């Protein structure tokens, strides 16, 4: 998210999280368009997530403070030591990992003490936002140490499959490109319908 009107419209739908990309090479980079005061005025139930790729830790801290971020999502090659430093500075972390058939879930053990969530995304050419799903059956090999958010090409077209997918560590979903009308601009109607579907599933579970 980055456009004020669109951001307000989506926030009014009461999603659990809203994401803001602070990676300059992304077509969704917030640039100068994002109003820090607008973010600070969002309801506390809508948690603000800043997305970074291999950013220096001082930059991470500065942006998190300026925009009042609730979480920082690390979508690069950040080490466990880097996450430890960020955690010690008081940041709440979501560490993203690109998953394919060769991914070793055993490498995540050293991140468990410092990350609130992992995010499992499709392995592709970009650090994220590649727009297509990976084989969720690969997650059968994951048994901790942190809850995870599922990402990668999620949207209305695979909502039925998404709602049938279960995992003991699944904590939520990350929707992006499949709900966009343009990079950084979300389709309000499609987002509303998808959130209604998800909330109905939660209410019936």
Q: For the chain, which domains are there?
A: 4-204 (3.20.20.70)
What end-to-end distance do the CA atoms of the chain give, in Å?
30
What is the tens place of the pLDDT at every residue in 111-138? 999 999 999 999 766 655 556 789 999 9
Is-above-0.75 flag for pTM? yes
Give the per-residue SS3 of 124-189. CCCCCCCCCCCCHHHHHHCCCCCCEEECCCCCHHHHHHHHHCCCCCEEEECCCHHHEEECCEECHH
Rg of the chain, C-alpha, whole Å: 16
Percentage of the chain modeled with pLDDT above 70 = 95
Give Cα separations from 43 to 15, 18, 25, 145, 187 (angstroms): 10, 11, 29, 30, 21
Give Cα separations from 122 to 33, 103, 147, 152 (angstroms): 28, 11, 17, 5
User: Nearest CA to 105 among 169, 158, 161, 48?
Assistant: 169
* In contact, 74 and 94? CB cutoff 8 Å: yes
pLDDT at residue 199, rounded to an integer: 87
Query: Measured between alpha carbons, how far is 142 from 132 in angstroms, rounded to an integer?
Result: 21
What is the tens place of the pLDDT at every residue in 7-23? 999 999 999 999 999 99
The helix/strand/coil state of 40 is helix
Give Cα separations from 125 to 121, 122, 130 (angstroms): 12, 10, 7
* In contact, 168 and 145? CB cutoff 8 Å: no
DSSP-derived pairing of the beta strands 185-186 and 180-182: antiparallel
Average pLDDT over all residues of the chain: 93
């Amino acid at each position: 998210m980055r456009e004020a009107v669109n951001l307000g419209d989506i926030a009014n739908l009461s999603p659990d999280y809203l994401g803001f990309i602070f990676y300059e090479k992304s077509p969704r980079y917030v640039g100068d368009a994002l109003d820090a005061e607008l973010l600070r005025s969002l309801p506390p139930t809508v948690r603000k997530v800043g997305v970074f790729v291999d950013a220096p830790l001082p930059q991470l801290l500065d942006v998190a403070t300026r925009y009042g971020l609730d979480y920082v999502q690390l979508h690069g090659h950040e080490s466990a030591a880097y996450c430890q430093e960020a955690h010690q500075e008081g940041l709440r972390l979501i560490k993203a990992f690109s998953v394919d058939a060769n991914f070793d879930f055993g490498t995540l053990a050293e991140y468990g003490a410092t990350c609130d969530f992992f995010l499992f995304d499709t392995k592709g050419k970009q650090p994220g936002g590649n727009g297509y799903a990976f084989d969720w059956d690969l997650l059968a090999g994951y048994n901790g140490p942190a809850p995870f958010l599922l990402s990668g090409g999620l949207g209305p077209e695979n909502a039925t499959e998404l709602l049938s997918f279960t995992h003991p560590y699944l904590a939520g979903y990350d929707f992006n490109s499949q709900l966009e009308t343009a990079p950084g601009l979300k389709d309000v109607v499609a987002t509303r319908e998808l959130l209604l579907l998800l909330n109905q599933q939660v209410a019936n579970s």
